[in-house]
Structure 1
Amino acid sequence: MEKGTQRHQQGEKESMKTRKAYFYWVTKDQGSYSWFQNIMNEVTERDTNGVIEVNNYCTSICEEGDVRSVFIRMLQSLNHSKTGVDIVSGTRVMTHFAKPNWKNVYKQIAMDHYGSHVGVFYCGEVSLAEELRQLALEFTHKTETRFSFHKENFYPPDK
């Protein structure tokens, strides 16, 4: 499709337009954020219309609600309000601790985009791919929102 046109390859159907993108970066290692640190900062700077929502999760830091994570969260909030930078990721995006509650993520997206078609694009380890695929099917069947799951897996190196 040509940029800027409304034509669909089949002619009469309206082209799909992205109205909102949710990016979830989940990592065990705090140092992994450095891979995309500059890009995440640039995206948040340029996204003046709020189209892209970036979510960072670091699973090696204490579980959400743990006394230690509450303390880190407090320091994180203070630093973010002063500098605009998260102490965990080094980006403008506040980092959450533990793994995302994927069921709640799907539920919120289904509610926020009632009746829409939502593409789920996953790149990561095989173990999480199946859970996300099953949730896409589950929420497609029990809500008016349609989820299409797409994946690319990587495999951890042999030890």
Structure 2
Amino acid sequence: MISIVKDIVNNIRAMEEEAESTSGALENGNGDVGINSTSSSSPNSKRKESFKTRRAYFYWVTREQGSFDWFKGIMNEVAEMDHNHVIELHNYCTSVYEEGDARSALITMLQSLNHAKNGVDIVSGTRVKSHFAKPNWRSVYKQIAVDHNNSRVGVFYCGAPALTKELRQLASDFSHKTSTKFDFHKENF
């Protein structure tokens, strides 16, 4: 999954660099400014045509806080360079009680204060704010179906087999109940 996110980031970066290099202001001796751009048939424009991803939602769900370290660099890179908000990152730490539970009130308060002051989450150590407990997958699918009406959405899962059945069933349910079509894919290892 990290490779997929890195690929999206690299495509975003390449398209931004391409946009910067193919258009620029030119000034002639009279002080007039014109725009210089290459034609759309340039080899670089093929990247834009082949890069189909318009939005990506990444959910990192882990029991231990230390697992966020594996992905810390790329999460910060995405937060810093994804100016068009193509990738939406969500971290979940399941060893902490969900937000609103009295047992997690102190860590939630510290997390909010630190994130507001320093822009860094105390749980993941990244710019991406962590949530507690497990995601409500039905709500996740519902929101994506609402946000991407009449679209095709690929769902890619890598993790414990126990969650496969639930995510596959939700993809099927929401594909039949909404105009959004979810294609479920599971990495086998």
- TM-score of Structure 1 vs Structure 2, range by shorter chain: 0.7 to 0.9
Q: For 1:61 and 1:112, how far apart are their aligned partners in 2?
A: 29
Question: Does structure 1 residue 21 correspond to structure 2 residue 21?
Answer: no
Q: For 1:91 and 1:104, how far apart are their aligned partners in 2?
A: 25
Are the counterparts in 2 of residues 126 and 153 from structure 1 also a CA contact under 8 Å? no
The residue aligned with 1:92 is 127
- Per the TM alignment, residue 66 of structure 1 is displaced from its structure 2 partner at its CA by 1.0
Q: Give TM-score scaled by structure 1 length.
A: 0.86
- Shift of the 5–79 alpha-carbon distance from structure 1 to 2, 3 Å rule, reads same
Kindly provide the CA deviation profile for residues 72-99 of structure 1, in whole angstroms up to 9, marking residues without a partner as x: 1111011011111000000101100000
- Shift of the 5–88 alpha-carbon distance from structure 1 to 2, 3 Å rule, reads same
Aligned match of 1:43 in 66, 78, 99?
A: 78
Amino acid at match of 2:132: F
Are the counterparts in 2 of residues 125 and 153 from structure 1 also a CA contact under 8 Å? no
Q: For 1:152 and 1:64, how far apart are their aligned partners in 2?
A: 30
Q: Give TM-score scaled by structure 2 length.
A: 0.73
> Structure 1: 5+ residue runs without aligned partners?
9-14, 155-159
Q: How does 1:74-93 map to 2 (within 5 A)?
A: 74-93=109-128
Q: For 1:120 and 1:3, how far apart are their aligned partners in 2?
A: 29
What is the SS of the residue equivalent to 1:23?
Answer: strand
Runs of 4+ in 1 over 3 A off after TM superposition: none
Amino acid at match of 1:152: E
- Per the TM alignment, residue 63 of structure 1 is displaced from its structure 2 partner at its CA by 2.6
The residue aligned with 2:46 is 5
Aligned match of 1:125 in 160, 172, 180?
A: 160
Q: Mean Cα displacement is larger for which, 89-98 or 62-71?
A: 62-71
Aligned match of 1:53 in 88, 91, 95?
A: 88
Identity of aligned residues (%): 67
Amino acid at match of 1:37: K
- Per the TM alignment, residue 18 of structure 1 is displaced from its structure 2 partner at its CA by 1.2
Aligned length: 147
Amino acid at match of 1:72: I
Amino acid at match of 2:104: S
What is the SS of the residue equivalent to 2:83?
Answer: coil
- Per the TM alignment, residue 6 of structure 1 is displaced from its structure 2 partner at its CA by 8.2
The residue aligned with 2:36 is none
Q: For 1:125 and 1:25, how far apart are their aligned partners in 2?
A: 13
What is the SS of the residue equivalent to 1:114?
Answer: coil
Question: Does structure 1 residue 151 correspond to structure 2 residue 186?
Answer: yes
Structure having the higher helix fraction is: 2
- Shift of the 145–16 alpha-carbon distance from structure 1 to 2, 3 Å rule, reads farther
- Per the TM alignment, residue 71 of structure 1 is displaced from its structure 2 partner at its CA by 2.0
What is the SS of the residue equivalent to 2:46?
Answer: coil
